[in-house]
Amino acid sequence: MQASYLELHKTGELQRRAQSAVESLAYCTLCPRECGVNRVEGEKGFCETGRLARVSSYNAHFGEEEPLVGKNGSGTIFITHCNLLCVFCQNYEISHGGAGVEAEDETISRIMVELQRIGCHNINFVTPTHVVPQILTALVGAVELGLKVPLVYNSGGYDKVETLKLLEGVFDIYMPDLKFMDPELSERFCTAPDYPEVVKAALKEMHRQRGDLAMDENGIAYQGLLVRHLVMPGGLAGTREAMRFLAKEVSPNTYVNVMSQYRPCGQAHRYPEIARALTTEDYRDAVRIATEEGITRLDERKPRLFQLLGL
């Protein structure tokens, strides 16, 4: 199927949105932080990013969910910095440390086309929330260079509905995290007490735009919503409430990756309740809870450890 942004480009709407988004950087309220800084002039707010996006790396990634990876990998572009900054981030050097280099919009255009050239099934922006204008501008150039594969919006879920509406018809696949359902925990670990409220609204908007995850005859996703839920030690992620929300308020057919990858990275050692690795019991309970709450369309791939344990 044709990527949806091609029609927007054809009508000139993509160019108009890109220009409007860049202009909005003069008083940035793109994300729920609403810092109000002038990023056009190089001022930086919570995300530590000015007019230009910073890119840490890009490659054909084979560690993503199977509907994205297929045979040739997901064309992943890791954006530096973040608007959420979880204390336990597994990409701490990138999100907190700023590892990466500033990239002109034209450079990002060329990266996208190069990933398509080597056969990637999609272009997967990791942590795109704070660089939506840069992505839109780069996309205009990439289409003119021949880009046509689907785009993936791989975010922490801390996204404003107003910004997501700007992306309607641009991103084919939304892949947000659903991290916490307790505002006290999201404040403690992400300095974002409004995270549960924000992520619920964001997921509803993403699903409104793209619906349930849809795949072609080869099992490759071409549009829809894919939700990641990282299981935390001791059930801190609020799995039951999260799965109940998805089943009741989004769709019982939501494709969910119940993730077992948690380990105490970054500054997690400073917080006793998350300063340990996940146990098999933590993970097994989370999967059971998901199915109990009506979410049965779960990502089938499991970490090698859990495969060996027969879980």
Q: Mean pLDDT of successive 10-residue segments in the chain (311 residues)?
A: 91 98 98 98 97 98 96 98 96 96 98 98 98 98 98 98 98 98 98 98 98 97 98 96 98 98 96 96 97 94 47 46
What is the pLDDT at residue 302?
Answer: 53
pTM for this prediction: 0.95
Which bin fits 81, alpha (ψ -120 to 50), beta or left (φ > 0)?
A: left
Domain housing 14: 5-226
The per-residue pLDDT for 309 is 45
Give pLDDT, residue 205. Answer: 98
Asked if the structure places residue 178 within a domain, the reply is: yes
Count the alpha carbons within 13 Å of 136 in the hemisphere toward its beta carbon: 28
Q: Is residue 237 part of a domain?
A: no
Determine the length of the chain: 311
Domain count, the chain: 1
pLDDT of residue 306: 44
Distance of CA 27 to the CA centre of its chain: 24
- Residue at 296 is within a domain: no
pLDDT at residue 310, as a whole number: 47
Q: Which amino acid is at 228?
A: R
Give yes or no for a contact between 136 and 17, defined as CB atoms under 8 angstroms apart.
Answer: yes
Q: Name the CA radius of gyration of the chain, rounded.
A: 19
Residue 163 lies in a domain: yes
What gap in Å lies between CA 214 and CA 207, rounded to an integer? 12
For residues 26 and 16, the answer to whether their CB atoms sit within 8 Å is: no
Q: How far apart are the first and last CA of the chain?
A: 36
What pLDDT does 300 receive?
A: 79
Tell me the C-alpha distance between 95 and 139, whole Å: 23
CATH code of the domain containing 47: 3.20.20
- The backbone region for 189, taken as left when phi is positive above 0, alpha when psi lies in -120 to 50, beta otherwise, is alpha
Helix axes 195-210, 183-190, angle to 10 degrees: 100
Asked whether residue 300 is assigned to any structural domain, the reply reads no
